[in-house]
Amino acid sequence: MALQLGPVRLATNLLLAPIAGYCDLAFRTICREWGGVGLACTDLLSPEGLLRGTATSLDLARTNDFDKPVGMQLYGSDPDLMAEGARWAVEHGATVVDINMGCPVDKVTKKDGGSKLLTDLLRAAAIVERVSRALEACPLPRDEWARRLGNATLAGDGPMPVPLTCKVRLCWHTSDYEAGQACSPGLALALADAGVVAVTVHGRTTEDKFAGTVRLEGIARVVEAVNGRIPIIGNGDVRTPEDCERMIRETGCDGVMIGRGGLSKPWLFRDCWAHLHRAGLGRGAAPVELTPGEPSEAEILASVRRFFDLMRDYRDDRYALFQINRRVSWFSRSLQRELHNGKLESIKPFKEAVRNARSPAQVYDAIDRFAAGELRGGLEMQEEAAP
Ligand SMILES: Cc1cc2nc3c(=O)[nH]c(=O)nc-3n(C[C@H](O)[C@H](O)[C@H](O)COP(=O)(O)O)c2cc1C
C-alpha cells in the first residue's frame, strides 16, 4: 500500500529532506531525475518573508511543474501568520504544507519557532489547528490537483484541501529522552487530533543538534504510540540503502526522509527504492530499476553539469558559482578511482579548478578536462565532510 499524505498517494515511500541552503529547486530536480523520490520539500520558509515577497523567500519557495509533488515548509510561532503563510503556499504550488518543529538554530527557536515548539505543546497544537482550518478553507479543484501531483496520485474526488504535515525531533532535552519522557509520542497524537496527516521524526533531541547517531528507538516509540493512526516518517543518518532498510525494520516507520546522504549522492533515492523493493519494503507505484549499479563517471559529471546549468537557469551565475564551489567535493567523492594499491586517486586539481572558477565557462572547462582524464593524479589525502 502506498504511503499516503491525506489524499496524496506518493509514488515511493522516500522523501527528500529540507536542508536550508542546499535543497533548492535545482537540487530537488536533480534528485527527482535520478529517481526514487516520492516527495521533496523546500527548505524552511518564513511566512513573513513570503507574504512580504522578499527576494530570498521567493527564491526559496520557487517550484515548477516538474518539481512535484512538493512540500513547502513553514516555520514560526504565530498561528495567524502561519495560516496566512500556508494559504500563500497553496496559492503558489504546494502539494503539501509542512510545519517545522525541529529546527534547533537560535535564530528560529528564540522566536519560539522550530524545535522550541517541542516545549510548548499547546502552542504547537494551536498552530496546527489554525493552519488546518486555513487549508480547509481553500480546497483545490481536481484540475489544479492534477498540476501538482507529479508521480503521485490522488485518492478521492472533488475539491480537497492541501494536506498538512509536521517535522519534529524527539524532544528538547536529552535527559527527558533518556528518562523515557520524550514529548514526541504524545505530540504526534495531539498533532493528528489537530489535523496533521503525517509526522516526520528526526531521531535526535534538540540538544543533540546533529551530533551522535540517530536514536532509532525514539522514532519507534512514536510509531508505537500513534499505532497506525497517521503515517510516521523516520529521518536521520540514512546514507546507504542498508541504512534505509534498517530505519524501517527497527522503527516500523511508514516512510524514510533522507537529507545529507543525498547531497553527495543524489542517486541515493533511486538506490534505496531498488533496495527497499528487493527487501519487500518498497511502497508505491514508481518504476523500479532493481539493480541500478553505481553511476558511471560520465553520468556523475553529466549530473554535476546539469545541476550547475539548473542553478544558473533558476537563479543566476553568482549563485551557481557559490553553490558549486561549496558542493564540488561531496559530488566528487564518487568520482575518485581506486588505484591498484587500493588507495584513492586524488582529484584535488579538479576540485580546485571548480573552486577557483570565476565564470561558468571555467566550471565547464574543468568538467571537460576532468572527463578527458586531466586534473587528477597522486593520492587523496583528506576527506571533506558534508554538513
Ligand atoms: C545544514 C542543515 C540545514 C537543515 N535545514 C532544515 C530545514 O530547513 N528544515 C528542516 O526541517 N530540517 C532541516 N535540517 C534537518 C534535516 O532535514 C534532517 O532532519 C537532518 O539532517 C537529519 O537527516 P539526515 O541525516 O538524513 O540529513 C537541516 C539539516 C542541516 C544539516
What topology does CATH give the domain 4-278?
TIM Barrel (3.20.20)
Which alpha helices (H) appear in the chain, and where do they start and end? 25-34, 47-52, 55-61, 79-91, 106-109, 121-136, 142-147, 174-178, 184-194, 216-226, 241-251, 260-264, 268-278, 297-314, 317-332, 348-355, 360-371
Q: pLDDT category, 380, cuts 50, 70, 90?
A: low
Q: How many CA atoms lie within 13 A of 364 on its CB side?
A: 7
Give pLDDT, residue 379.
64
- CA 377 – CA 387 distance, rounded (Å): 27
Closest ligand 1 atom to residue 17 Cα is 17
Does residue 350 surpass a pLDDT of 70? yes
- Ligand 1 contact via 243 beta carbon (within 6 Å): no
- CA 152 – CA 313 distance, rounded (Å): 26
Among the listed residues 199, 285, 270, 190, the one whose alpha carbon sits nearest the alpha carbon of residue 235: 199
Give pLDDT, residue 375.
94
Burial grade of 255 (CB within 10 A; 0-12, 13-18, 19 or more): buried
Grid cell listed for 330 = 561531496
Closest residue by CA, ligand 1 atom 26:
259
- Ligand 1 contact via 168 beta carbon (within 6 Å): no
Q: pLDDT category, 79, cuts 50, 70, 90?
A: very high
| Residue 96, φ and ψ in degrees, nearest 5 | -140, 145
Give pLDDT, residue 238.
98
Among the listed residues 232, 231, 202, the one whose alpha carbon sits nearest the alpha carbon of residue 214: 202
- Ligand 1 contact via 19 beta carbon (within 6 Å): yes
Closest residue by CA, ligand 1 atom 18:
259
Give pLDDT, residue 384.
55
- With pLDDT > 90 as the criterion, what percentage of the chain qualifies? 90
Does residue 56 surpass a pLDDT of 70? yes
Q: pLDDT category, 333, cuts 50, 70, 90?
A: confident
pLDDT by residue (tens digit) across 193-213?
999 999 999 999 999 999 999
- Ligand 1 contact via 218 beta carbon (within 6 Å): no
- Ligand 1 contact via 236 beta carbon (within 6 Å): yes
Among the listed residues 270, 250, 240, the one whose alpha carbon sits nearest the alpha carbon of residue 203: 250
Closest residue by CA, ligand 1 atom 14:
19
Sign (positive/negative) of CA torsion 293, 383, 330, 260? positive
Does residue 382 surpass a pLDDT of 60? no
Grid cell listed for 88 = 500563500
Closest ligand 1 atom to residue 202 Cα is 19
Q: pLDDT category, 345, cuts 50, 70, 90?
A: confident
Give the mean model confidence (pLDDT) for residues 65-77.
98
Give pLDDT, residue 332.
84
Q: pLDDT category, 386, cuts 50, 70, 90?
A: low
Among the listed residues 83, 95, 68, the one whose alpha carbon sits nearest the alpha carbon of residue 135: 83
pLDDT by residue (tens digit) across 230-273?
999 999 999 999 999 999 999 999 999 999 999 999 999 999 99
- CA 162 – CA 70 distance, rounded (Å): 11
Give pLDDT, residue 290.
87
* This prediction's pTM: 0.96
Which alpha helices (H) appear in 35-120, and where do they start and end? 47-52, 55-61, 79-91, 106-109
- Ligand 1 contact via 270 beta carbon (within 6 Å): no
Does residue 383 surpass a pLDDT of 70? no
User: Got the DSSP string for 249-279?
Assistant: HHH--SEEEE-HHHHH-TTHHHHHHHHHHHT
pLDDT by residue (tens digit) across 125-179?
999 999 999 999 999 999 999 999 999 999 998 899 999 999 999 999 999 999 9
- Ligand 1 contact via 89 beta carbon (within 6 Å): no
- Ligand 1 contact via 238 beta carbon (within 6 Å): yes
Residue-range domain boundaries for the chain:
4-278, 297-371
Q: pLDDT category, 363, cuts 50, 70, 90?
A: very high
pLDDT by residue (tens digit) across 105-127?
999 999 999 999 999 999 999 99
- Ligand 1 contact via 43 beta carbon (within 6 Å): yes
Give the mean model confidence (pLDDT) for residues 68-91.
98
Grid cell listed for 166 = 509536521
Does residue 336 surpass a pLDDT of 90? no
Helix or strand (DSSP H, E) at 201: strand 198-202
Architecture of the 297-371 domain: Orthogonal Bundle (1.10)
Is 248 within 8 Å of 280 (Cβ atoms)? Answer: no
- Ligand 1 contact via 264 beta carbon (within 6 Å): no
Is 262 within 8 Å of 18 (Cβ atoms)? Answer: no
Closest residue by CA, ligand 1 atom 13:
19
Average pLDDT, whole number, for the chain?
95
Amino acid letter at 112? D
